[in-house]
Amino acid sequence: MSRWVWALAALGCGEEAADSGPADEPEVILDMDWTLEPTELTFGEVALGAPATTELSLTNTGESDFSIFGFQSDTSLVAVSATTGAPVAPGESTPITADWTPLTDDNLRGTLTLLLSGSEGLISVPVEIRGTAAGPVANLSVDTEDLGSVILGCTRSATVRVANDGNAPLQVESLALDGSVGFSLDTGSEPFPWALAADEVRTFTVSFSPYDQGDILASLTLVSDDPFNPELAVQLAAQGAAGTEVRDTWDVPPGENVTGLFAVNEVVNSTYRDRFQEALPVFFETLRAAGVPFRVSFIHSQTGVVDGSELYIDETEDPEDATEIAIAMVAAAAGDNDYLLNTLELAIGQNTEWLLDDDENWETSKLNLVGINMDQEQSSGNATLYVSHYQAYKEDPADIAVHAIGGDSPGGCPGAEAFTPFSDAAAATGGVFLSICEADWTTHMETLALAFLGEGQVSFALSEVPAEWSIEVYVDGGPELTGWTYNADSNRVSFDEDAYPNEGSELRIQYYVDEECPE
């Protein structure tokens, strides 16, 4: 920058001007002049947290000395240093240095004003300051940090937001919960570490399902390569509130003998062969787990006569051998026997010796009657008539239960007609009716075996649907931590064979009801 002094030639007073030749050029007198190299204080791109220095040179290109009287910047982010008060002679230079450590991803924009002192007084020289901050900036937030009061057995959730507010990739090492049980965090299937691009946001769900009453606290922590905040934490809070507690109790009954007759037709060797044979082992495994004597036979003849070398299968056979015997009993089923209610009545009469007359234990045992068919039932008479005939064989009518695997009643299901009479008989005797159209009969066979055994033989039905985490089992007042399983489909607690409570024991199962939770 330069300052120019112009000198004008003066004309004598009252004198005429000289001949009209060209006018003299004004004389240029250099006083203060300087250059800046470079012309700006430029840092370029600087990583967050990394100190950076830049420098420019102020050179005196004039004819007289000047000095730096002082300087000021409109940004406090930059530290400027320069020698003040010392003369800078013509042709000499003095350095001006600036230091910047970016603490955020905001770019640097500012102006440094130099005050030069010389023969022309004080002169302001503006210098632009430029820099680009580069780096990741982690951000962790939860839309609801206090989830409030939650009933035992219920769940309330909040959204977790993980963001990279910077302009370079952020590497997330972990996102984890630390604190009291009850809180859970779903971060998906992608393993840590994972990268977030600049301005990328991911959301996750944190849930609270209280296991106890009272105030519950937890901490959600994000660990990343953010240079300034490598660890961010959000405090979470919630309160567990009392739900509805239930205590179901039983006096454990004695083990009772169990008998059963299956009446089937050719469908177990054709359309439903694989489903039937693959699920049979589960039926026998479930019966054997109860540890009670049982006798079961499979019949396909309309006469009710058992086909095969064995009259029945009992608890002495392992599930694989029992399955082979059952398959052999129905191997010759080829006719279209659609008279299964009548077949079962005849079968009781044909097999009274081992079903009823062997001893008192078999006489008073529960008799289960099962029909399996994909076609309509054709026996003459209705279900009520046949149920009364079956119950005539027992002193206690409750010892008869009819079950079925057939087409859904009343409309049937794909490929199978409604098996309505058996559906009616099952409803009248407390039996189970299962859809023949189910692709996998494993659960069907387990359900049938449990129905054969009845309440207290191997499992106990709960009066309400429990919050599974809250189930506690006590036998004669003592807690049973192992040896039992809760089945949500049947809403029953069952015991392992070696853990079944002794006859006459007091069984108590207590739990919190799985409440209809508020939104």
Q: What is the largest distance, in Å, between two alpha-carbon atoms of the chain?
A: 162
Q: Are 422 and 378 in contact (CB under 8 A)?
A: no
Please give the full DSSP string across 426-482, using - where no structure is assigned: HHHHT--EEETT-S--HHHHHHHHHHHH-BTTTEEE-SS-B-GGG-EEEETTEE--S
Which pLDDT belongs to residue 489?
84
Q: Inform me whether the pLDDT recorded for 129 exceeds 90.
A: yes
Q: pLDDT for 321-369, tens place per residue? A: 999 999 999 999 887 899 999 999 999 999 999 999 888 889 889 999 9
Q: Determine which helix (DSSP H) or strand (DSSP E) holds 260, and give its type and residue range.
A: strand 258-264
Q: pLDDT for 496-514, tens place per residue? A: 767 888 888 999 999 988 8
Cα–Cα distances in Å, from 209 out to 156, 312, 410, 501? Answer: 7, 50, 41, 32
Which pLDDT belongs to residue 55?
96
Confidence tier at 492 by pLDDT (50, 70, 90): confident
Span(s) in the chain for CATH 3.40.50.410: 256-455
Q: Are 336 and 377 in contact (CB under 8 A)?
A: no
Section 287-302 average pLDDT: 91
Which pLDDT belongs to residue 453?
86
Q: Are 514 and 469 in contact (CB under 8 A)?
A: no
| 243: DSSP letter | -
Residue 63 tokens read as: 């004819």
Span(s) in the chain for CATH 2.60.40.10: 2-134, 138-243
SS3 401: strand
Confidence tier at 25 by pLDDT (50, 70, 90): low
Q: Inform me whether the pLDDT recorded for 196 exceeds 70.
A: yes
Confidence tier at 13 by pLDDT (50, 70, 90): very low
Q: pLDDT for 61-114, tens place per residue? A: 999 999 999 999 999 999 999 999 999 999 999 999 999 999 887 889 999 999
Section 246-252 average pLDDT: 92
Confidence tier at 243 by pLDDT (50, 70, 90): confident
Question: How many Å apart are CA 296 and CA 277, to the nearest integer?
Answer: 16
Question: How many Å apart are CA 329 and CA 257, to the nearest integer?
Answer: 22
What residues contact residue 519 under an 8 Å CB cut-off, 6+ apart? none
The CATH superfamily label for domain 2-134 reads: Immunoglobulins (2.60.40.10)
Q: Inform me whether the pLDDT recorded for 4 exceeds 60.
A: no
Q: Kindly report the average pLDDT of the chain as a whole number.
A: 89
Per 3-state DSSP, what percentage of the chain is helix, strand, and coil (rounded to 5)?
20, 40, 40
Q: Which fold has domain 256-455?
A: Rossmann fold (3.40.50)
Cα–Cα distances in Å, from 369 out to 127, 235, 341? Answer: 100, 60, 9
Please name the CATH architecture into which domain 138-243 falls.
Answer: Sandwich (2.60)
Q: Backbone phi, then psi, for 349, in 5-degree steps?
A: -65, -35
